[in-house]
Amino acid sequence: MKRLTVVLAVVTALALAGVATRADEGMWMPQQIPQLAAKLRSMGFEGDPKAFADLTGQPMGAVVSLGGCTASFVSPDGLIVTNHHCVTGALQYNSTPERDLLADGYLAKTRGDELPNAPGARVLVTVRVTDVTDAITGNLDPKLTDRQRYDAIDRRLKERVAACEQGSGLRCSVPSFFEGLKYFEIAQLEIPDVRLVYAPAEGIGVFGGETDNWRWPRHTGDWSFYRAYVGKDGKPAPYSKDNVPYRPKQWLTVAAGGVKPGDLVFVVGYPGRTQRHQSYAEVKATTEWAMPRAIRNAEEQLAILEKLTKQDKGLALKVAGRIQGLNNGLTNTKGVLEGLVKGGSLERKLQAERELADWIAADAGRRKQYGDVLPAMQALHEASLKTRERNAALAGLSSASTYLNAAQTLYRLSLQRPKRDIERDQGFQERDWSRIRATQERLQRTIDPTVDRALLSWAMAKAASLPEDQRIDPIDALVGLRPGMDQAEASRAIDKYLDGLYAGTKLADQDVRLGLLEKSTAELKASNDPFIELAAALEPLNQSIREAAKDLAGAYARLRPRYMEAMLARAGGLVAPDANSTLRVTFGQVKGVRARDGLFYEPQTTLQGILEKHTGEGEFNAPKAQLDAIKALRAGAKTPYLVPELGDVPVNFLSTVDTTGGNSGSPTLNARGELVGLLFDGTYESVASDYLFEPVTTRSIHVDSRYMLWTMSEVDGAGHLVKEMGR
């Protein structure tokens, strides 16, 4: 408890003085919260911290996953609130050339108007979390080779999942925590009929666009509403007109007041991935190789896409999601790199690892227990560098081309299907087939030969320029490339090869693609589709890379849990595990931050800022109805959502809670567990915290529930939903 005790003492002292200067690290597992009771009480929490450990009680039972985003029930009739940017798929799916829901928003006046969702959409309600560490890693013969260890664990995981799902109607997973030191079995109810109820117009829900993304001050109305539907028997069922609203056991109450600076807030959600427990060498390689590469690649792809879509609005709509994703990742990666290198996080990481090594070296028992871990991890890491250029270029081909990616999925599925289910690779078991199909259906909205070819051509040029010892041999053979080849010559060879690929393929046809989903390898080969042929040619190399990855994972399964054990022993106990898309609780204060020398981010923004930023076009184009409502407010119109101290309705706020991607849509709760906002972003200065938490500058960005309610009541005519939420 060493590190946290120190933080706790500081926070307590400052909380009494009304000023806390640090953000609060920790995406806690719900069962850890009761151990933080003292800290919580010092921050003004009056409830029972044990409540957070009860996943089916208040408030935890109300919080659900959308897979990639978080959401929460806000009415007994299954009404769900999440971020606007979490419902983009549903908006696109229901849009037509005549009705652009992304631009105009949508409001179902009655339940009958609530719209079906895109294939694959679902709500996941966590119902049970069980520590199964012993079942997964207990009694493993220490004499196992690394690969045998991997296979044993992999088998146990699959058996565990199968047993959990068998006849329960639940969706189960067994993720690792603390780098394989712990495993928990998570059982979730999966509801596939999730309908679109309400999304504000783009000028509210995406106000600020890419320009404001990751930035403060912020004025984004990033909320939308779904409703979960189930069969008449109350059980999850695919979309059907006859389905009825799901009646959750728990739903959140919207707070009557809101938050003010200094208030304690909780965020409950499903943060995706953090890397705080990586070794220094791994983070260093990320900053020196992976991130600069990712930035370069994103910029190059964006340039290609912008050129292609400049004159073609239809194409622009198709690739809007890809462009948004690339931009989002680009800004995030730049921010992480800046924080790690310039902000000095990498230096601090090195320092911490040196201290860990010294701590191990200082004691004979510790030397015996952990002495080999850091050097062995270092050796594994170094070995992995030898093929990283090739492996990244190979993966780049599939991520550039939707055609190739689809072909590879079809081909690999055909190889896996003949096996017994327990022998199939994770992701290709029977339980995964419906999701694989949904993905193949969904990509119909974005697949485009012009864009695909441009990006695959770009990715192949990368493969062409690989060093001699890291070539992708099947590509060299098929395309006719060789190391050191003249760029123009390579370009001609790639062009010629791509001519054949795109002329011969039928994979852009949804019926053809879905039809191939259930075909055998021989039948796929007989289709003579050139993308299937390419996938088949690449499969042996991909397979060998996966085998090597399994060997490596087996070795890490031997080392990382002990590395983590040493870190935890040194830290003295209560540490939050890295985020892994499982349910977590984080808490902190509503609080501004001195973002840069001379510049202070105030903790709250208001409607005034919308007027300041509104330009009437592009990313800053507030709807006229909203501008009118703001003017009415200026002219003296009354609203319960106005905060006298601000002289305005609050729009967004900052807090010190510890969040990351996947937390989007998470409910923000006050000390009484009531909804006061939705988490939707972090500041640019915070993103490096995914690698090393920076307590001074890290801030999360929330939309204030009062802005949501004001807009629903005064702008969007969604008063019936406000009423359904009991306000």
Return the ∠ at Cα 548 (arms to 542 and 550), rounded to 5°. 105
Residue closer to a second copy by CB (options 338, 441) is 338
If one asks whether residue 589 binds a second copy (CB under 8 A), the answer comes out as no
403 forms beta bridges with none
Q: Is residue 605 near a second copy by the rule CB under 8 A?
A: yes
Contact code string over 650-689 relative to a second copy, x by CB under 8 A: --x-------------------------------------
Beta pairing, strands 650-655 & 700-704: antiparallel
598, 618, 636, 647: which one contacts a second copy (CB under 8 A)?
A: 598
Tell me how far, at minimum, the Cβ of 596 lies from a second copy, in Å: 6
Query: Is the distance from CB of 26 to CB of 270 less than 8 angstroms?
Result: no
Instruction: State the burial class of residue 144 (Cβ atoms within 10 Å of its Cβ: 0-12, 13-18, 19+).
Output: middle
Of 599, 617, 618, 645, the residue at the interface with a second copy (CB under 8 A) is 599
Which has the closest alpha carbon to 306: 319, 295, 294?
A: 319
Residue 35 lies near a second copy (rule: CB under 8 A)? no
Residues that contact a second copy, how many (by CB under 8 A): 21
> Which two structure tokens, joined as six digits, stand for 288?
């020196």
Residue 641's SS3 state is coil
How many angstroms separate the Cα of 497 from the Cα of each of 210, 478, 482, 493, 501? 36, 8, 14, 6, 6
Other Cβ atoms within 10 Å of 672 Cβ, number: 13
Considering the candidates 65, 84, 85, 212, report the single residue annotated as catalytic: 85
Pick between residue 155 and residue 342 the one whose CB is nearest to a second copy.
342
381 noted as active-site residue: no
608 touches a second copy (CB under 8 A):
yes
| 222 labelled catalytic | yes
**Shortest reach from residue 668's CB to a second copy, in Å:** 17
310 and 303 in contact (C-beta within 8 Å)? no
Residues 609-648 binding a second copy (CB under 8 A) are 609, 612
CA atoms within 13 A on the CB side of 458: 21
Q: Which stretch binds a second copy (CB under 8 A): 71-79, 124-132, 136-144, 217-225?
A: 217-225
The three-state secondary structure class of 73 is: strand
SS3 content of the chain, % helix, strand, coil (to 5): 50, 15, 35
Q: Is the dihedral of CA 267, 679, 704, 593 positive or negative?
A: positive
Does 217 sit near a second copy (CB under 8 A)? yes
Nearer to a second copy, 609 or 682 (CB): 609
* C-beta of 610 vs 725, nearer to a second copy: 610
Please identify, among the stretches 7-15, 145-153, 592-600, 625-633, the one whose residues bind a second copy according to the rule CB under 8 A: 592-600
Q: Closest separation between CB of residue 190 and a second copy, Å?
A: 39
Catalytic one among 222, 263, 578, 681?
222
- Interface with a second copy includes 602 (CB under 8 A)? yes
Nearest distance in Å: CB 304, a second copy: 24
Q: Using CB under 8 A, pick the residue from 274, 440, 606, 621 that binds a second copy.
A: 606
Active site residue 399: no
**Range 243-272, binding a second copy (CB under 8 A):** none
Pairing type for strands 193-199 and 106-107 reads antiparallel
For 136, counting Cβ atoms within 10 Å of its Cβ (0-12 exposed, 13-18 middle, 19+ buried), the class is buried
Residue 309 interacts with a second copy (CB under 8 A): yes or no:
no
**Of the residues 122, 218, 277, 471, which one makes contact with a second copy according to CB under 8 A:** 218
* CA dihedral over 101, 105, 111, 116, signed as positive or negative: positive
| Smallest separation, CB 465 to a second copy (Å) | 27
How far apart CA 370 and CA 374 sit, in angstroms, is: 8
Choice from 235, 367, 596, 624 touching a second copy (CB under 8 A) = 596
Please report, as residue ranges, which positions from 338 to 377 form the binding site for a second copy (by CB under 8 A). Answer: 342
Which residue ranges make up the site for a second copy (CB under 8 A)?
216-219, 342, 592, 594, 596-602, 604-606, 608-609, 612, 652
Active site residues per annotation: 85, 222, 664
